[in-house]
Chains A and B, each alone.
Chain A
């Protein structure tokens, strides 16, 4: 299964890259599917509210009011109707790709099960909202949807009288049924909104708005297509005839033909099985998680940076439990921690310059600690120096293009795990002449915020800042997915050539005077735990 997923992942990554030059990585729609889903939901909601001003419920009134909307009022209410329909269809497309993508990128198992499981009801709510919406038009398609849906529901042994009997003859149809449908068409999206809110509860800094440029492009595309190819009603419903040929909405109602082809029992069993499977997928099989981050109170001053950077709400601040002169301490919820290590990169105690032989920081990953990283960095530094001035040490995220072992490459759970002081350490100790940070692709970080946080730290926009004395030109950032593995060595070689041209790195003092390079890898300056980082 993992090999299959890895193959899918490379394929998905390759496919997504096609859109990078067209939209830019930050506007790439495939990297903003969740946000686009929210955006389309709000378009559907607002257009629905506007349409309700002009819409009438009733056996004949519903159809007539929609003809009026698409006829006389085509330029505003008609446009709104088309936007309502096409945004709903687009929402389903976005949602289905979002589901597939989260599976492919393995972001549904382990401690990330919550977002997956709470997304399953949303899937059904979206379809139910679409089905009840089509019902309200009361054209041939609505008639087909009404009879097929009620016949399907009647297969359940819950109803004393078959609901489909409401649609046997024109005399049997009541306008009250439309009132019920309007109620359902409003109530279901409200329930869906509640589920969408719950869906985001275990992630921090949840983005519910796509980048402005992508929002504009999506809205403009919807408006243009709505004017060029407006949504129209089909012939009015007539219960004395059967809607034999229907212009079907294949995106929302694509499985409807099956309802009249297969026995209802088969369909209900399939629906139940798919639902159970969807709920159970995070445990089929369960992912063996790495141990959760641990807090070391002797090195924690309650600064809250780890809380601010944790992408999964796994860290909270609680009252201090020791005698240290700080008000609060960090507390990790092991059931939510995915061991990405971003908290470690955020901790001000994560200073590799400290002279402690066993380096312990305020919050650390047991399986990939700061001490382990420093040991690996020092081991690379212990290799013979070639004197060319082009030595590159690479910190590579295990989900990005650097996910394979290579010489001079140190693998990390997430690029955000690297504290900025580690970069300073590598250059100051003359372990390398330059550093490459190879993270996930810019459009999408496996741990949501790793790329963004790392960029902000390097740009000195987010604590902990990268010190000014670390020259930016000696840092290479490579944001690329697993399908771009082959490109990384070339980028690093190119960077190495640039470093050679620059000459060896000369550490400068605070006043700008050049300092002699250390000749050994022995720890030099000592930084006390909890000392402020940055300048």
Chain B
């Protein structure tokens, strides 16, 4: 009995010390995930490459072979073309990518998700995208002056109808 009291006291102190160490490391020490005086710019969107360049009209014979409810006039490749994206900050291109379509058959949209750390302050940001390989230049271009604060999360998104949006 005496030794059990001894174990309860000493074992209890050791258990408490170990639990306190575990509790400390459950929230400390702090971790800095990004440098000071920087902001995070994320360029993220999904967009399907324009496959119209691969489309052609079906001939009358081809249409006649199809059931009446499936007689679409045009036939296109299932696979979509890649999209090409550029991001320039203060006139300097810092990110370029030719993003292939997603999916096993390449029929899904191209996905863009890029994290870029920028110093705080004023910047001129230009984002450009070409979604049809048959065209020259860019199909979508947007330039914006932004004032980044420390630890700010700045997002560039895209909607086909409205183009690039800045959040």
Chain A contacts to B: CB under 8 angstroms: 19, 21-24, 27, 29, 82, 85-86, 89-90, 93, 144, 151, 154, 157, 160-162, 164-165, 168-169, 213-214, 216-218, 220-222, 224-226, 228-229, 231-232, 239-252, 257, 260
CB proximity to A under 8 Å, residues B1-36: 3-4, 7-8, 10-12, 14-16, 18-20, 22-34, 36
In-complex Cβ contact of B16 among A151, A216, A225, A242 (8 A) = A225
B12 to chain A, nearest CB (A): 5
Residues of B within 8 A of A29 (CB): 15
Residues of B within 8 A of A144 (CB): 33
> From A22, which residue of chain B is reached at the shortest CB distance?
B10
Q: How far is the CA of A216 from the CA of B44 in the complex (A)?
A: 52
Q: Report the stretch among B55-63, B72-80, B90-98, B147-155 that lies at the interface.
A: B147-155
CB proximity to A under 8 Å, residues B106-127: 108-109, 111, 113, 115
A33 to chain B, nearest CB (A): 13
Known: A19-B14, A162-B44, A225-B16. A89 touches B7 (CB 8 A): no
**Is the pair B23, A86 in contact by a Cβ cutoff of 8 Å?**
yes
Residues of A within 8 A of B16 (CB): 220-221, 224-225
Assess whether B102 is interfacial by the CB under 8 Å rule. yes
**Is the pair B113, A22 in contact by a Cβ cutoff of 8 Å?**
no
Assess whether B51 is interfacial by the CB under 8 Å rule. no
Interface centre among A29, A157, A168 (most CB of B within 10 A): A168
**Is the pair B44, A164 in contact by a Cβ cutoff of 8 Å?**
yes
Query: 6 A-B pairs, CB-CB below 8 angstroms?
Result: A89-B25, A90-B22, A221-B15, A228-B20, A244-B32, A251-B22
**Is the pair B46, A161 in contact by a Cβ cutoff of 8 Å?**
yes
Residues of A within 8 A of B8 (CB): 213, 216-217
**Is the pair A250, B25 in contact by a Cβ cutoff of 8 Å?**
yes
Interface centre among A217, A243, A246, A250 (most CB of B within 10 A): A217
A129 to chain B, nearest CB (A): 15
Residues of B within 8 A of A229 (CB): 20, 23-24
**Is the pair A24, B4 in contact by a Cβ cutoff of 8 Å?**
yes
Known: A23-B10, A165-B44, A249-B27. A225 touches B19 (CB 8 A): yes
**Is the pair A246, B31 in contact by a Cβ cutoff of 8 Å?**
yes
Give 10 closest A-B pairs by Cβ, nearest first: A23-B11, A221-B15, A247-B27, A221-B19, A221-B16, A248-B31, A22-B10, A162-B113, A24-B7, A217-B15
Interface of A is mostly: helix
Q: How far is the CA of A228 from the CA of B59 in the complex (A)?
A: 81
Known: A22-B7, A90-B19, A229-B23. A240 touches B152 (CB 8 A): yes
B88 to chain A, nearest CB (A): 21
In-complex Cβ contact of B40 among A228, A242, A249 (8 A) = A242
**Is the pair A213, B11 in contact by a Cβ cutoff of 8 Å?**
yes
**Is the pair A160, B108 in contact by a Cβ cutoff of 8 Å?**
yes
**Is the pair B23, A225 in contact by a Cβ cutoff of 8 Å?**
yes
**Is the pair B30, A246 in contact by a Cβ cutoff of 8 Å?**
yes
Q: A220-B12, A221-B19, A232-B27 are in contact. List 19 more A-B contacts (CB 8 A).
A: A19-B14, A24-B3, A86-B22, A89-B22, A89-B26, A151-B113, A151-B115, A160-B102, A221-B15, A224-B19, A225-B23, A226-B23, A228-B20, A231-B23, A231-B27, A242-B34, A245-B30, A245-B32, A248-B31
A111 to chain B, nearest CB (A): 34
B43 to chain A, nearest CB (A): 10
Assess whether B167 is interfacial by the CB under 8 Å rule. yes
Interface centre among B3, B12, B102, B152 (most CB of A within 10 A): B12
Known: A221-B15, A248-B27, A251-B26. A168 touches B155 (CB 8 A): yes
Q: How far is the CA of A164 from the CA of B44 in the complex (A)?
A: 9
Assess whether B50 is interfacial by the CB under 8 Å rule. no
**Is the pair B7, A27 in contact by a Cβ cutoff of 8 Å?**
yes
**Is the pair B14, A22 in contact by a Cβ cutoff of 8 Å?**
yes
Q: How far is the CA of A422 from the CA of B16 in the complex (A)?
A: 46
B63 to chain A, nearest CB (A): 32
> From A164, which residue of chain B is reached at the shortest CB distance?
B113
Residues of B within 8 A of A90 (CB): 19, 22
**Is the pair B10, A168 in contact by a Cβ cutoff of 8 Å?**
no
Q: How far is the CA of A64 from the CA of B116 in the complex (A)?
A: 32
Residues of A within 8 A of B36 (CB): 244
Residues of A within 8 A of B108 (CB): 160
A303 to chain B, nearest CB (A): 37
A275 to chain B, nearest CB (A): 25
**Is the pair A247, B30 in contact by a Cβ cutoff of 8 Å?**
yes
Assess whether B42 is interfacial by the CB under 8 Å rule. yes
A383 to chain B, nearest CB (A): 40
Interface centre among B19, B36, B42, B111 (most CB of A within 10 A): B19
B99 to chain A, nearest CB (A): 12
Residues of A within 8 A of B153 (CB): 168-169, 239-242
Residues of A within 8 A of B111 (CB): 154, 160-162
B65 to chain A, nearest CB (A): 33
Interface centre among A29, A169, A218, A225 (most CB of B within 10 A): A225
Residues of A within 8 A of B86 (CB): none
Q: How far is the CA of A168 from the CA of B113 in the complex (A)?
A: 10
Q: How far is the CA of A161 from the CA of B27 in the complex (A)?
A: 33
Residues of A within 8 A of B7 (CB): 22-24, 27, 213
Residues of A within 8 A of B152 (CB): 240-242
Assess whether B129 is interfacial by the CB under 8 Å rule. no
B138 to chain A, nearest CB (A): 23
Q: How far is the CA of A217 from the CA of B152 in the complex (A)?
A: 46
Residues of B within 8 A of A243 (CB): 33
Q: How far is the CA of A311 from the CA of B96 in the complex (A)?
A: 63
**Is the pair B46, A231 in contact by a Cβ cutoff of 8 Å?**
no
> From B9, which residue of chain A is reached at the shortest CB distance?
A22
> From B42, which residue of chain A is reached at the shortest CB distance?
A168
Q: How far is the CA of A22 from the CA of B10 in the complex (A)?
A: 5
**Is the pair B14, A249 in contact by a Cβ cutoff of 8 Å?**
no
**Is the pair B25, A221 in contact by a Cβ cutoff of 8 Å?**
no
**Is the pair A244, B151 in contact by a Cβ cutoff of 8 Å?**
yes
Residues of A within 8 A of B22 (CB): 86, 89-90, 93, 251
